[in-house]
Structure 1
Amino acid sequence: MQKKISVFLITALLIAGFSLINLQQSTAGAAEVGTEIGMKAPDFSLTNLNDQKVNLSDYRGQKVFLNFWASWCPPCRAEMPDLEKLNQKYGAEVAVLAVNIGESKSTAANFIMENKLNLPVLLDIDKKTAQNYLVRAIPTTYILNEDGIIVEKTFGVLSYQSMLKLTGIEE
């Protein structure tokens, strides 16, 4: 009787083990969508200053520096020169996306022109993307890897050196 129970338990454990291996293989690379580190960043579609639709998913295969900001925000304004520098020097390695929250196209465009910036600015006029990303303070920055997985998330002003460190760029 004990031999039958032992065989049954061993068989059950083997089946459970194989089931777990199959489950892990079937979910490999399929991260849950969300706003925490290790999750797949929620996709969005926003308009840029040239009235073109831009989807976050267009940047799969590239690292992304996703920065939420507004022109009225002093910390955001302070961060912009370093964000511009990152874009100018390393835009081929890291896609810099500056998501303007809640302002009109003309307000965002005027700020960009007055400050002689060439950043890719996306307009989140209705603030829905910021809400989806749970942005509570600005600037807020997400760093995404090539698969769209969030690898870093920060709140507040970043220096140029911090931007490089977060994106894994060595100068």
Structure 2
Amino acid sequence: MKIALIINTLSIALMGQLVAVSPSFSQETYRLKAAITGLSSSSVVVRYSRQGMLINDTIRVHQNQFTHALPMTDGAVATLVLSPTTQLPFWLESPLISITGTMGKTPFLHIRGTPENDLLDLYRKTIERPYTLRKQGKSSAEVDDIVLQKDKATRQFIAQHPTTLTAAYLLYWQAVSDITIFDQLEFLLAKLSPSVKESYWGQKTLTRIHNVQNRPRVGKKLPDFSLPDAMGKTISLTSFAGKYVLLDFWGTWCVPCIQGIPELKAVHEKYGSRLAIVSIALERPADRQKWLKAIDKYGMSWTQTAQFTSAREGVNELYNIHEYPTFLLADPEGILVAKLRYGEVESQLDQLLSK
């Protein structure tokens, strides 16, 4: 089922580098003030991206209230995470952002007072919340149909507000959640005002559409990338021209990835100089040392690289990676030969490389 949006659904981490932001978003520091009835947690999280790095600020809650200072974020958006299913994006459009509401089975949250937040609030009231309520007690097939209806309503909402950053923001998440409707997404992107099209979220939508339309396919040359390895040396796919290359997308947080390391070690020993293995870890900015320790602990002696951003940036976005681990095999010319299955890497390589 596709990823839905906003309160219980716009939970995908925010990411990226600042491309363009409305002039009204010029303040460097913002103060978040919240009073939410029934907020039983002792702490909440505000999640945002800054200069491409994903950041989670943990905030203490006292008597259902809290305040927090925020810097300008990538895209001028942050997300208040109250629980795994209750997450509230908001615009950094005013020096003071005020959030009120109530928790419960279907939380009701409200952000006061700025044009973009008012529009996001309108979206929640007229589309997000009604469709969320419709899903309660429904079968999975019925829920899938409701999500399709909600996405259609979302696209209509975007078409009605082409001069707003909220329209570009919602359009980006439509491009994330559904890779089958790019004709509709391109049409909506073209209808956005020039300044909104050039905004951070407009450009992210354009990049998302381009990357998915050009995502790696068997028989097609893989796009090149550059990343520093564990020693700080920059490596790229073209660094291994003339060899088969096995790209291993993994993370220290991924249990199946860790479980698959012995198989990669066996492959590395078996094929030696004929096959280059390049492991590309997806890690949080604070976890560089954790990544380096894992390389040493598990004896990963082949090429190790990492990107310390979200999955929606860099090579992971370029290659449209959504599952971990993912194994891609490129031939000596850099053409994608196969996407290998977890647990069957060695046996599949035996078949492919013996030809």
Taking structure 2 as the reference length, the TM-score comes to: 0.36
Between the two structures, name the one with larger relative contact order (CA 8 Å, sep ≥ 6): 1
Structure 1 alignment gaps of length 5 or more: 1-32
- Residues 28-82 of structure 1, C-alpha deviations (whole Å, 9 max, x = no match): xxxxx64011111110000111011001111111110111001111111111111
Identical amino acids, percent of aligned pairs = 23
Check conservation: 2:248, 2:325, Cα contact below 8 A.
yes
Aligned equivalents of 2:270, 2:354: Cα separation in 1:
11
1:82 corresponds in structure 2 to 263
Q: 2:291 aligns with which of 108, 117, 134?
A: 108
Question: Would the aligned equivalents of 2:224 and 2:237 in 1 still touch at CA under 8 Å?
Answer: yes
Correspondence for 1:120: 303
* 1:49–1:105 Cα contact (<8 Å) kept: no
Q: What is the distance in 1 between the residues matched to 2:279 and 2:354?
A: 19
| TM alignment of 1:1-171, pairs within 5 A | 34-103=215-284, 104-126=287-309, 127=311, 128-166=314-352, 168-169=353-354
Following the alignment from structure 1 to structure 2, what is the Cα–Cα distance between the partners of residues 105 and 48?
A: 12
Give every structure 1 segment of 4 or more consecutive aligned residues whose post-TM-superposition deviation is greater than 2 Å.
Answer: 102-105, 154-166
Q: Which amino acid aligns with 2:302?
A: L
1:116 aligned partner, one-letter code: G
Q: Match of 1:73, as an amino acid?
A: C
* SS of residue matched to 1:91: helix
- Is this contact kept in 2: 1:138–1:156, CA < 8 A? no
**1:151–1:71 CA distance, 2 compared to 1 (3 A):** same
Shift of 1:120: 1.4
Aligned-residue Cα RMSD (Å) equals 1.9
Higher mean displacement: 104-113 or 43-52: 104-113
Kindly state the Cα deviation for residue 119 of structure 1 after the two structures are TM-superposed.
2.4
Q: Deviations over 1:59-116 (max 9, x none)?
A: 1111101110011111111111110121123130011111111244312111111223
Mapped partners of 2:264, 2:354: distance in 1: 14
Q: Which amino acid aligns with 1:70?
A: G
Aligned length: 137
Instruction: Give the secondary-structure state (helix, strand or coil) at the position aligned to 1:86.
Output: helix
CA contact (8 A) 2:283 2:291 kept: no
What SS does the corresponding residue of 1:92 show, helix, strand or coil? helix
Could you tell me whether the CA contact under 8 Å between 1:76 and 1:157 is conserved in 2?
no
Cα shift at 1:169: 4.2
Code of the aligned partner of 1:114: K
SS of the aligned residue for 2:299 comes to: coil
Give the letter for the 1:43 counterpart: D
Letter of the aligned partner of 2:232 in structure 1?
D
Moved more, 101-110 or 36-45: 101-110
Distance 2:259 2:354 in 1: 21
Q: 1:122 is aligned with what amino acid?
A: T
Contact 2:252 2:283 in 1 (8 A): no
Instruction: Return the alpha-carbon distance in structure 2 between the equivalents of residues 91 and 101 of structure 1.
Output: 25
Q: Pick closer, same or farther for the CA change 1:169–1:122 going to 2, 3 Å.
A: farther
Unaligned runs of at least 5 residues, structure 2: 1-213
Q: Aligned partners of 2:217 and 2:228: how far apart in 1?
A: 25
Counterpart secondary structure, 2:337: strand
